[in-house]
Structure 1
Amino acid sequence: AASVRVCIDVDSSFRPAESWLGDRVHIGARRSPIRDGRAAVALARQVAARPGFDLVGMMFYEGQIAGTADAGRTARQAIVRLMQRASIAELAERRAAVIAAVREVADLEFVNGGGTGSFESSSGEGTLTELAAGSGLFSPGLFDGYTHFRHRPAAYFVAPVVRRPGPGWVTVFKGGFIASGVPGPDRLPTIAWPPGLEYSGLEGPGEMQTPLTGPGTDSLRIGDLVWFRHAKAGELAEHFNDVQIVSQGRIRDAWTTYRGEGLVL
């Protein structure tokens, strides 16, 4: 019988002054209780000792670097940049130690890490065999707020104008494809075209309708399309069965999303 292939997920969050404060200051995703070499080796030995199980990989996700926007001149963004520099240095040392320790127990096939916002820093460590690009493959709206990430947007969704409720306003159908994470403006779809449109401050993008205002509404009529960029990759794959592939102004193909493949729970 085939063995169960196991991958250990190692906590890659940043904990300043951890030796004093423990996990009371925890910046990043809470994904795993495994954090250091000793804990990782203990789990690796349990896997190795259990018949029918093979430890083949490890993964690290540094969400506080990969998924946190740092562009801007506010005090908050300056603190984010300082935190990220400190986290990059801490994680590089800890990750190398954890990987080396586990490799003494198991012959790992892969070590996965990174993320869109940490692609450059993670690749420079020399410890990973594969990097995860994630949402950045489409360059969605969230990554407009990154200083070290500039790529051409490659995915959009459109919503038709269904009403003109008053001067300076249009309402489009649906549009409320909100990204996961801490709620905030950066999790909303970005209005891509036409220019001169903005959300209603009292309603925002909605599940069934999205009112828009601004000078861009003057040229819009019932049935016209407004183009949006999703904030992260998941929203489109969660809501649509396929995406239309456009090249040189023509639809060339349709690619099935994981929803279209029946993989949405």
Structure 2
Amino acid sequence: MSLYSQYEKAFSNIARPFAFLDLNHLDENILFVKEHLGDKHIRIATKSIRSVEVLNYIAQSFPTSSGWMTFSAKEILFLAKKGFDYFLMGYPILEREDVEQLIPYIREGKEIVWMVDSIETWEWLQKIGEENDIILLICLDINVSTSFPFIYFGTKRSPLTEENALKDLLEKGIKHKHTKVVGLMGYEAQIAGVGDKPHEKWKRGIIPLLKRSSRANISIWRKKAVEIIESYVGKLKFVNGGGSGSLLWTVEQKEVTEITVGSAFYFPALFDQHTSLPLKPAAGFGLRVTRKPEEGVIVCHGGGYTASGALSKDKLPKVYLPEGLEFLQNEGPGEVQTPLKATGFIPKIGDTVYFRHSKAGELCERFQELIVCRDDKLDGKFRTYRGEGECFL
């Protein structure tokens, strides 16, 4: 039985549109990550999952994980109330009430580490710690992007791009007694988030060259940053690096102790551009065919679930099943309807077309639940954050 037929049988009585999770494929992706972690710990990126039940499902396979990388303090509170622990806030925040709501959990012993890349954020955390007579844990976020002569290769995030900037921050910050540096993050976004086979064909000869040169710079700078920080504060508890797209390279970096992984579990369409990841699409959504305006063209109800980031075709959903369907050049996926051109099999009115979202967790912002299947049978439902009434960013 084809995968399309399996899905049609499993989801035959589910109202469209719906989001789905294929447990067979999820299990294969989990196994791939486990087999390639080497001696590193995993920190699971909640942003890429956005479902408590899926997070718990994945965590069962990683009993020695470092914990969770979160994207909002409100999300930490939400998860802490459900018994989660060992949080690394992945980005600097300056929302006082959000941090103060977590202080009772910190007093109870939950580990929450806050991201810092400026003295302003450090001093802000110090003030909260002092007022509440508590020590807040800190992770310093260095920038491992590479600035080539004619191109900046990476993301514009931390200002800590070189030794002097890092030393200056440490010299100003370590005097604060209500904060403690316990970790370093050096996220190689230009490796993890940029595929080897980009949508634009003209980039395909350039990206591998930029990546190759950038890798050498990343390794040198991150190792040096660890040495500098430890010379000021002593042995770090963790050094975080990587993402799903750089997994196979980051596991080889000796200075890294843990790797953040999230998108690899769902394997969204954007990651098709990573040729080193033989993963399986585990999550997507199904739309009903409701129109046939002309021969060779069908129309689905809904579908305009475009991903965040720089505007480009690879941020659109990807038509998944059945094969032989593509977007119309002048319309694309729409808010309430999505026309498709058929180059092979033509679905009938009433049939289903399956799509994959471009970015992993953002699919869950569109649906309240993931309909779970294994083979051609339903296997329950997992609520998304949205299904639990939550929306963090």
Same fold (TM over 0.5): yes
Q: Between the two structures, name the one with larger relative contact order (CA 8 Å, sep ≥ 6).
A: 2
Matches within 5 A, 1:125-140: 125-140=253-268
Residue in 1 aligned with 2:147?
A: 15
Out of 358, 365, 371, the residue aligned to residue 244 of structure 1 is 371
Question: What residue is the counterpart of 1:20 in the other structure?
Answer: none
Contact 1:69 1:145 in 2 (8 A): yes
Structure 1, unpaired ranges of 5+: 18-23
Cα contact 2:289–2:347 (8 A) shared by 1: no
Residues 191, 198 of structure 1: 8 Å contact kept: yes
How far apart are the structure 1 equivalents of 2:313 and 2:265?
A: 21
Question: How far has the Cα of 1:140 moved from its partner?
Answer: 1.5
SS of 1:105's partner is: helix
Instruction: Determine if the alignment matches structure 1 residue 36 to structure 2 residue 162.
Output: yes
Which of 173, 180, 192 in structure 2 is aligned with 1:47? 173
**How many Å apart are 1:216 and its aligned residue?**
4.7
The equivalent residue for 1:209 is: 337
Aligned counterpart in structure 2 of residue 164 of structure 1, from 284, 292, 299: 292
Letter in 1 for 2:358: A
Distance between the aligned counterparts of 1:104 and 1:244, measured in 2? 50
Question: Are the counterparts in 1 of residues 332 and 338 from structure 2 also a CA contact under 8 Å?
Answer: yes
Unaligned runs of 5+ in 2: 1-132
Q: CA deviation at 1:197?
A: 0.8
Report whether the alignment pairs 1:90 with 2:217: yes
Q: Spell out, residue by residue over 1:86-141, the C-alpha distance to the aligned partner (whole angstroms, 9 max, x if none).
A: 00111111110011111122242222111122111111111111111232221211
Deviation string for 1:143-188 (max 9, x for gaps)?
2222212211111111111222222221112212122222222221
Cα distance in structure 2, aligned partners of 1:166 and 1:160: 17
Name the aligned partner's letter for residue 308 of structure 2: S
Could you tell me the TM-score, scaled by structure 2's length?
Answer: 0.61
Would the alpha carbon gap of residues 125 and 264 (structure 1) be closer, same or farther in structure 2, given more than 3 Å must change? same
Cα distance change of structure 1 residues 126 and 255 upon mapping to structure 2, 3 Å threshold: farther
For residues 16 and 181 of structure 1, the distance between their equivalents in structure 2, rounded to whole angstroms, comes to 22
Cα deviation, residue 82, structure 1:
0.5
Q: Partner residue of 1:186?
A: 314
What letter is aligned with 1:144?
D
Q: Number of residues paired by the alignment?
A: 258
| 2:196 matches 1:64 | no
Asked if residue 3 in structure 1 is aligned to residue 135 in structure 2, the reply is: yes
Of Structure 1 and Structure 2, which has the larger fraction of its residues in helix? 2
2:287 is paired with a residue whose SS is strand
Preserved CA contact (<8 Å) 2:298 2:347: no
| Bigger mean CA deviation after superposition, 248-257 or 107-116 | 248-257
2:290 counterpart letter in structure 1: V
Contact 1:37 / 1:99 at 8 angstroms: preserved in 2?
no
2:392 paired residue number: 264
* In 2: Cα distance, 1:247 partner to 1:57 partner: 39
Whether the 8 Å contact between 1:65 and 1:117 is mirrored in structure 2 is yes
Identity across matched positions, percent: 36
Residue by residue over 1:27-83, the C-alpha shift from the partner in whole angstroms, topping out at 9 and shown as x without a partner, is: 111011111233223323433222322222221221211111222795521111010
**Aligned partner of 2:381: which letter?**
A
Kindly report structure 1 stretches of 4+ aligned residues shifted beyond 6 Å. Answer: none
Structure 2 equivalent of residue 21 of structure 1: none
| TM-score of the two chains, using structure 1 as the length reference | 0.89
Query: Contact 1:179 / 1:234 at 8 angstroms: preserved in 2?
Result: no
SS in 1 for 2:161: coil
Letter matched to residue 143 of structure 2: D
